[in-house]
Amino acid sequence: DAMVIQNPRYQVTQFGKPVTLSCSQTLNHNVMYWYQQKSSQAPKLLFHYYDKDFNNEADTPDNFQSRRPNTSFCFLDIRSPGLGDAAMYLCATSKTSGSVRDRDTQYFGPGTRLTVL
């Protein structure tokens, strides 16, 4: 089945130790998103790739970087995690072709829960 896969599902890191979260998709969607979701809060968009074009949200800290080496993969790098970065990180994809509904549907991965010690 076509899907969005995130690895690992659970990640524990130490304060200040760089960490990379990965996302892959078999949907062949051209848009990929990274969200941060803290407990009982809405997912907060960090950045997204529209094809190869990187779009950073204005309030995304510099500590967060992303790479998209090809259509299928996207990485979230946290250079120096702080305690406040502990959260669920969600990857999502969408496409900009097809019906209006197709274009508006975001497909989410299961998330990676990051713990910072």
Partner 1 sequence: QKEVEQDPGPLSVPEGAIVSLNCTYSNSAFQYFMWYRQYSRKGPELLMYTYSSGNKEDGRFTAQVDKSSKYISLFIRDSQPSDSATYLCAMSAFYGQNFVFGPGTRLSVLP
Contact set with partner 1 (CB under 8 A) = 4, 6, 31, 40-43, 45, 48, 50, 88, 90-92, 94-96, 100-101, 103-111, 113
CB of 54 to partner 1, least distance (A): 13
- CA-CA distance, 48 to 77, in Å (whole number)? 14
Q: Which amino acid is at 10?
A: Y
Pick 15 or 50: Cβ nearer partner 1: 50
Pick 18 or 53: Cβ nearer partner 1: 53
SS3 state at 100: helix
Pick 13 or 106: Cβ nearer partner 1: 106
- CA-CA distance, 60 to 45, in Å (whole number)? 8
CB of 3 to partner 1, least distance (A): 10
CB of 8 to partner 1, least distance (A): 13
Maximum distance among all alpha carbons in the chain?
45
- CA-CA distance, 99 to 60, in Å (whole number)? 31
Question: Which is it for strands 10-13 and 112-116: parallel, antiparallel or unpaired?
Answer: parallel
Pick 2 or 80: Cβ nearer partner 1: 2
CB of 27 to partner 1, least distance (A): 13
